[in-house]
Structure 1
Amino acid sequence: MYGWIWRKLPFGLAGKLVGSTLLAAATVALLWFVVFPWAEPLLPFDDVQVSQNSDVPGDDSGGGLTVPSGSPTAEELPYSTETNNTPPSPDR
Structure 2
Amino acid sequence: MYAWIWRKLPFGLWGKVTGSLVLVATVGVLLWYVVFPWATPLLPFDDVQVGTAGTEQQDPNLVVPGDGAEVGPDEIPYDQHTNAPDPSASPR
TM-score (norm 2): 0.55
Amino acid at match of 1:2: Y
Matches within 5 A, 1:44-59: 44-52=44-52
- In the other structure, the counterpart of 2:62 is 63
Is 1:3 aligned to residue 27 of structure 2? Answer: no
- In the other structure, the counterpart of 1:80 is none
Q: Distance in 2 between matches of 1:40 and 1:62?
A: 38
Aligned-residue Cα RMSD (Å) equals 2.0
Aligned residues: 58
SS for the counterpart of 1:63 is coil
- Structure 1 residue 63: deviation in Å? 2.7
Matches within 5 A, 1:33-52: 33-52=33-52
Residues 27/62 of structure 1: CA separation in 2 closer, same or farther (3 Å cut):
farther
Structure 1, unmatched stretches of 5+, are 54-59, 65-92
- Structure 1 residue 44: deviation in Å? 1.5
Q: Distance in 1 between matches of 2:61 and 2:41?
A: 33
**Could you say which structure has the greater relative contact order, defined with CA pairs below 8 angstroms and 6 or more residues apart?**
2
Q: Distance in 2 between matches of 1:52 and 1:41?
A: 24
TM-score (norm 1): 0.55
Between structure 1 and structure 2, the one with the greater Rg is 1
Identity %: 66
Structure 2, unmatched stretches of 5+, are 54-58, 64-92
- Structure 1 residue 16: deviation in Å? 0.2
Amino acid at match of 2:14: A
Q: Distance in 1 between matches of 2:38 and 2:24?
A: 20
Q: Distance in 2 between matches of 1:42 and 1:10?
A: 39
